[in-house]
Amino acid sequence: MSLIKNELTEKSGFTMEFSVSEEAFKKAENEAYLKNRKSINVPGFRKGKAPKHIIETYYGKGVFFEDAINACIPDAFEAAVKEAGITVVGSPSFDLVSTEGDVVLKAVGFVKPEVSIDGYKGIEVEKKVDEVNDADVDAEIENTRKRNARTLEVTDRAAAMDDIANIDYEGSVDGVPFDGGKGAGHDLKLGSGSFIPGFEEQIVGKNIGEEFDVNVTFPEEYHAPELAGKAAVFKTKLNALKFEELPALDDEFAKDVSEFDTLDEYKADVKSKMVKRNEDRAEAAVENALAEKVMELLQAEIPEAMFVAEVENQVRDYDSRLRQNGLDLATYFKYTGLTLEALREQMRPNAQKQVKMRLALEKIAELENIKATDEEIEAEYKKISDAYNVPVDDVKKMIAAEDLALDIAVGSAMKLVRENAKIAAPKAKSKAKAKKA
């Protein structure tokens, strides 16, 4: 197996010829015979017992040719690529050139493009960290109170806003009931705005067991054209009422929902976490802005094959995540109405960004001579091992050290960009401009 010739073409293309030795090909043919003979019928022989030359006489000399070629291509092509010193991207196409003596094959495909990048140090981006005030903290704690509320029955009063009303209803327009206008035992939070404007307000003040009409007008932009703008009457019965009782905002509440003994300590912790969350969001926004700037600085003719390959990687990853939850792509498509092509189209913009960002950071790592140390590689193997609960030795069998080293170098390149970036707070608008706006 050896490289015969390799030519680089425009836009990162290549054309290569490589050979498979006659001896290696005959070995592959024999292996194809041993693999397939059990399924081949030849008159006069028991199934699976016919000699190779008899099968070739009966079915043709090339009966095992395709299987043998397909078996030879991966190792032969990999050796030729290594000898040529190129990095192939995507899936090349293969054609047969000659079978006289050694088998000669031609591969046509694409290589990783030559790239250049400049100006990646000193990139200017803004970092906006939202402030956390007392009102924000109070709102966060109020949400926690609502999550810990008790739902109690109302028995001694009429319906009020924020109650949960259980109702039966049937709507009609001009005395004629319409589709979707009937319900029984429906729980409606009064004041939620989930029903037609004006409906919920007319339940307020009604008593349990009371039957009454609710008069409303459908909005002009209502989703059902036949009802839009029409006046409707809903015959309604109030079956039951409930309300949510919020826990008192005191030290006991703090003990119930946190590790703290006092409300003041709990509030301080909530504020601290909100400050950290806002800082993390701002930092993530900075990272995204830097990534966009880095991609803009990249100069390269990227072959379409790289984008296609990354889309397929993302589709496989998505399928894998679905399977972890007991689904698969076929089931997902059935429920969502999507197609494989539509999913690919959705994933393409992100795939393009991933390819561009990877090329840019690999080039930065090269220019800055960033290389992973043995300690970093071992630490990363350990991290993957712990994350997936797989022995380190098994991880090493699945991921080559050189691939992991490149991933680490790419991560370090992004850190270098971040460390050398010029991060500034957003410029405050002048009062004059604010008034003009």
pLDDT at 435 over 80: no
Q: Give the three-state DSSP class for 226.
A: coil
β-pairing verdict for 164-173 and 176-189: antiparallel
- The answer on 331 and 197 residing in a single domain is no
The two three-digit tokens of residue 160, written as one number:
């009020």
How many whole angstroms separate alpha carbon 311 and alpha carbon 350? 8
Q: Among 210, 245, 280, which residue terminates a domain?
A: 245
Could you tell me if residue 111 is left (phi over 0), alpha (psi between -120 and 50 degrees) or otherwise beta?
beta
- Counting the structural domains of the chain, the total is 3
**pLDDT given at position 431:** 52
Q: Give me the CATH number covering residue 172.
A: 3.10.50.40
State which of 61, 95, 112 marks the end of a domain: 112
Residue span of the structural domain in which 224 resides: 150-245
Residues 166 and 76 in one domain: no
pLDDT at 155 over 60: yes
Contact assessment for residue 167 and residue 210, using Cβ atoms and an 8 Å cutoff: no
Do 168 and 68 lie in one domain? The reply is no
pLDDT at 430: 58
Looking at the domain assignment, is residue 138 inside a domain?
no
Based on the fold, state whether residues 324 and 420 are members of the same structural domain.
yes
Q: Kindly report whether the global pTM for this prediction surpasses the value 0.75.
A: no
Q: Is the pLDDT confidence value at 362 over 90?
A: yes
Q: Kindly state whether residues 351 and 391 are assigned to the same domain.
A: yes
Based on C-alpha coordinates, what's the Rg of the chain?
Answer: 34
| 396 in a structural domain | yes
Does position 231 have pLDDT exceeding 80, yes or no?
yes
CATH number at residue 326: 1.10.3120
Query: Is residue 73 situated within a structural domain?
Result: yes
Task: Give the tokens for residue 361.
Answer: 């950071």
Query: Of the candidates 55, 85, 112, which is a domain's last residue?
Result: 112
Residue 399's closest CA among 377, 376, 373?
377
| Average pLDDT score over the chain | 92
Determine how many CB atoms are found less than 10 A away from the CB of residue 127: 15
* pLDDT the model gives residue 1: 60
Same domain, 304 and 237: no
CB 79 within 8 A of CB 52: no
For 243, residues 6+ apart whose C-beta sits below 8 A from its C-beta are 151, 152, 154, 160, 162, 163, 164
- Residue 200 shares a structural domain with residue 230: yes
Q: Name residues whose C-beta falls within 8 Å of residue 72's C-beta, 6 or more positions apart in sequence.
A: 1, 20, 24, 25, 28, 103
Percent with pLDDT over 70 in the chain: 97
CATH code, domain with 101: 3.30.70.1050
pLDDT score at 429: 65
User: Quick one: pLDDT at residue 11?
Assistant: 84
Whether residue 410 is found in the same domain as residue 311 = yes
Q: Are residues 220 and 346 in the same domain?
A: no
Residue range 153-179: mean pLDDT, rounded: 94
Confidence at residue 123, expressed as pLDDT on a 0 to 100 scale: 96
Task: Using alpha carbons only, give the angle 176, 180, 183 rounded to the nearest 5 degrees.
Answer: 100
Q: What percent of the chain has pLDDT over 90?
A: 81
Tens of pLDDT, residue by residue over 167-199, are 999 999 999 999 989 999 999 999 999 999 999
pLDDT, average across residues 126-140: 95
Q: 220 and 275: one domain?
A: no
Does the pLDDT at position 436 exceed 60?
no
**The pLDDT value given to residue 60:** 84
User: Is residue 225 one of the residues assigned to a domain?
Assistant: yes
**Position 228 in a domain:** yes
Give the pLDDT confidence score for residue 53 in this predicted structure. Answer: 82
Residue 120 inside a domain? The answer is: no
User: How far is it, in rounded angstroms, from Cα 401 to Cα 409?
Assistant: 12
- Is there a single domain that holds both residue 396 and residue 269? yes
Cα pseudo-dihedral 245, 249, 252, 253, rounded to 10: 70
- What tens digit of pLDDT does each residue of 375-423 get? 999 999 999 999 989 999 999 999 999 999 999 999 999 999 999 999 9
Q: Taking a C-beta distance cutoff of 8 angstroms, is the pair 214, 203 a contact?
A: yes
Residue 137 located in a structural domain: no
> Mean pLDDT across the stretch 160-165?
94
Q: Is the pLDDT of residue 434 over 70?
A: no
In a domain, 253, yes or no: no
Rounded to 5 degrees, φ, ψ at 348 are -60, -45
Residue 75 sits in the same domain as residue 192 = no
Q: How many angstroms separate the CA atoms of 341 and 347, rounded?
A: 10
